Structure 1
Amino acid sequence: MNSIELKQDIIAYSKTIGIDKIGFTSTNTFSEMKSRLLRQQELNYQSGFEEPDIEKRTDPSLLLDKSQSIIAIALAYPSKMKEQVLSKKGERRGIFCRASWGTDYHMILRDRLKKLEEYILSKVPEAKLKSMVDTGELVDRAVAQRAGIGWSGKNCSIITPEFGSYVYLGEMITNIPFEPDTPMEDQCGSCNKCVEVCPTGALIQGGQLNAQRCIAFLTQTKGFLPDEFRDKLGNRLYGCDTCQTVCPVNKGKDFHFHSEMEPDPEIAKPLLKPLLRIGNREFKEKYSKISGSWRGKKPIQRNALIALAHYKDETAIPDIIEVLKNDARPVIRGTAAWSLGKIGGNEAREALQHAVQTEKDEEVIKEIEKGLTFYVH
């Protein structure tokens, strides 16, 4: 079987194992992406979660000996919940972004790539293969764009004509010389909605993101959330979908092809107050299967406190006071103090006045004082 026949064979097989789109490209250096990454590094726009070696991120030949091709895959995920749960007074809810609904996408894509690897090896036993999803060295978007999966949108997502940007990406480097597919041309045109509505101005311009300002990144940090972003967070617990939901290409796009991607509404949109007192074991049991849990419960609890402040949920005041009094973690105590001040009321003020007398941590004291300043105005 020659590489042309094998390529068609792989495409046909991919459809049988739940791969929604597949493309092929060369292992040539991603020169344009390299320039962009170097610029991002100069401007300190990186998140810090990326592979630090830009050469490895842009030169596939460094990752697999005698590599000749890359196979890119995409799986469509849902943009709407089949079962809705409502956030209402006294029972306010937070939200995980769509990319964290259902089973962790890393597991789903690794499963599809593993099946694809096994199939290729059954046809070409001597083939060399290296697969990766998100946390690998290569930039998924650059690979997908060059392999014709979609175009790289102004919102820094791959946008496909069929599924919009609601797709998970993965890739496989191989030493098999496949004919590369044609990259897709940019179709964003003059539309600039994602840049205009980004809550924190993280999209500097189309295709350039300052990750340090991106809510999706900020929800994953473990320290105090900078003041300027707290009112922007809303009820987000993990991630941000704004630049996707405003995209005209995404209008009406909602696909439910993969059962493991279906969200449990009580996990994807959980009640906020119970999150404040959830223990490690319960958190692991309930949330460990979703990608949004990878940083542990601390950032999510901090974000839940900010979300309760966003709602000005007075019913949460006793729960937040309990956190302020008893939580061992300064970031959580401090955020609780700020949240109490934001919600307001006599009970919250008395708790803050008492806490400022007993608190020892300097950063927490600053947050208590911030909470008390809400009463001055």
Structure 2
Amino acid sequence: MDIKELKQEIIQYSKQIGIDKIGFASAVPFQTLKHQLKTQQDLGYQSGFEEPDIEKRTNPSLLLNEAHSIISIALAYPSKLKNAPKGTKEDRRGIFCRASWGIDYHDILRDRLNKLEKFISAKVPGVKTKSMVDTGELSDRAVAERAGIGFSGKNTAIITPEFGSYVYLGEMITNIPFEPDTPIEEMCGSCTKCMDACPTGALVQGGQLNSQKCIAYLTQTKGFLPDEFRDEIGNRIYGCDTCQTVCPINKKMDFHFHEEMEPDPEVVKPKLKPLLTISNRDFKEKFGPISGSWRGKKPIQRNAILALAHFKDKTAVLDLIELVEKDPRPVIRGTAAWAIGKIGTEHAKPFLLQAKEKEKDEEVLKEIDKGLMLLGG
């Protein structure tokens, strides 16, 4: 078997199946990443969604015996929403981040990696492979950086010269000893636009993110959102794109290569009020196919309440009152009570005082008091 020839055949085949960029890396342990992850862990900067075992995250040999190489793939996704619906004072809208537009990208990349695995297996019978996307043990970004897909920007995203940071990443560990590609030189220079624009200051320094303060992470949590971040969330109901949209390299980057990534405007920029009482069945039918639905409807509904409070949408107060009175979930009742105080109509104070007499949950009672404080006690 000629490994150089096989590499070229894989590159050619990757283009045929809709992989926009492919790179090859060594499977030696990621020692620099190991140090970085340990620092993140010590500082309490991790989100909790990642693989907790740092050894597994940094040593490919623990995931596949005889690991020699890692193949990294990237697929470019759209950054501009065609025919975007506009919100009105009566019908405010929320927004899902770009990485949640179209069909769940995990499924799209797994499809490409499965096809790549079958192609390689046909060429090399008995080959060992292990593929992963996002939720796997390895860091997609560290692999992509080593494989020359792009460089790691100050916003912690992989930035490619061709597509900016609007790329989905996946990788395959294999026992084939491919010649590794050369990493790309970092191009951020002295630019700090992403750090300056981050709404919560989550980008502690170039390339270091405090996930606990990152809006993309916060929108995915299921509990009460910490007070200091509620005004910063705006109308984001899943994820945050600020550190990408301000990046000069991303300017004019907008690619529509993959039909399954094309967003439904009514799904990714939905009306907020209907979200408050959407049934499980309707939620699954409308939002189930996108990646932003993975945590279920409760975080989306909580974020929709916060977005209505951000807009100070008085037309939503009756809907919020109904949530306080009838919703069985403390997070939803409490957030709605706070939002009523934030919006501040003439009926807000009498209602919250009445709700306080009936409510039994301690956390909800605290939120009612916060709402009353916003109304001046």
**Matched residue, 2:41:** 41
Where 1:346 maps in the other structure, the secondary structure is coil
1:233 aligns with 2:214: no
Q: How many Å separate the matches in 2 of 1:363 and 1:346?
A: 24
The answer as to whether partners of 2:220 and 2:238 remain within 8 angstroms in 1 is yes
Q: How many Å separate the matches in 2 of 1:135 and 1:375?
A: 43
**Matched residue, 1:100:** 100
**Corresponding letter in the other structure for 1:179:** E
**Matched residue, 2:373:** 373
| 1:1-377 correspondence runs (5 A) | 1-376=1-376
Q: How many Å separate the matches in 2 of 1:166 and 1:241?
A: 10
Where 2:347 maps in the other structure, the secondary structure is helix
The answer as to whether partners of 2:84 and 2:269 remain within 8 angstroms in 1 is no
Where 1:171 maps in the other structure, the secondary structure is strand
Quote the offset at 1:87 in angstroms.
Answer: 1.2
Normalised by the length of structure 1, the TM-score is: 0.99
Q: How many Å separate the matches in 2 of 1:257 and 1:318?
A: 43
**Corresponding letter in the other structure for 1:198:** C
**CA deviation map 1:190-211 (0-9, x unaligned):** 0011111110010000000000
Quote the offset at 1:77 in angstroms.
Answer: 0.2
Q: How many Å separate the matches in 2 of 1:231 and 1:210?
A: 19
Quote the offset at 1:247 in angstroms.
Answer: 0.3
Quote the offset at 1:349 in angstroms.
Answer: 2.3
Q: How many Å separate the matches in 1 of 2:278 and 2:123?
A: 50
**Corresponding letter in the other structure for 1:243:** C
Query: What is the identity percentage for the equivalent residue pairs of Structure 1 and Structure 2?
Result: 71
**Corresponding letter in the other structure for 1:165:** S
Structure 2 spans left out of the alignment, 5+ residues: none
**Corresponding letter in the other structure for 1:32:** T
**Corresponding letter in the other structure for 1:134:** D
Normalised by the length of structure 2, the TM-score is: 0.99
Q: How many Å separate the matches in 2 of 1:27 and 1:120?
A: 18
**Corresponding letter in the other structure for 1:178:** F
**Corresponding letter in the other structure for 2:90:** G
**Corresponding letter in the other structure for 2:53:** D
Quote the offset at 1:58 in angstroms.
Answer: 0.4
**Corresponding letter in the other structure for 1:74:** A
Where 1:125 maps in the other structure, the secondary structure is coil
RMSD of aligned Cα (Å): 0.7
Quote the offset at 1:374 in angstroms.
Answer: 1.5
Q: How many Å separate the matches in 1 of 2:216 and 2:374?
A: 27
**CA deviation map 1:247-285 (0-9, x unaligned):** 000000000000000000111000000000001111111
Q: How many Å separate the matches in 2 of 1:219 and 1:269?
A: 15
Runs of 4+ in 1 over 6 A off after TM superposition: none
**CA deviation map 1:62-109 (0-9, x unaligned):** 110111100000000000112211011110000000000000000000
**Corresponding letter in the other structure for 2:158:** I
**Corresponding letter in the other structure for 2:259:** S
Q: How many Å separate the matches in 1 of 2:224 and 2:307?
A: 14
Quote the offset at 1:61 in angstroms.
Answer: 0.8
**Corresponding letter in the other structure for 2:218:** L
Q: How many Å separate the matches in 2 of 1:273 and 1:86?
A: 15
Q: Which moved more, 1:367-376 or 1:131-140?
A: 367-376
Q: How many Å separate the matches in 2 of 1:13 and 1:273?
A: 47
Where 1:201 maps in the other structure, the secondary structure is coil
Q: How many Å separate the matches in 2 of 1:98 and 1:259?
A: 15
Where 1:172 maps in the other structure, the secondary structure is strand
Q: How many Å separate the matches in 2 of 1:345 and 1:117?
A: 59
The alignment covers a number of residue pairs equal to 377
**Corresponding letter in the other structure for 1:221:** T
Where 1:356 maps in the other structure, the secondary structure is helix
**Corresponding letter in the other structure for 1:269:** K
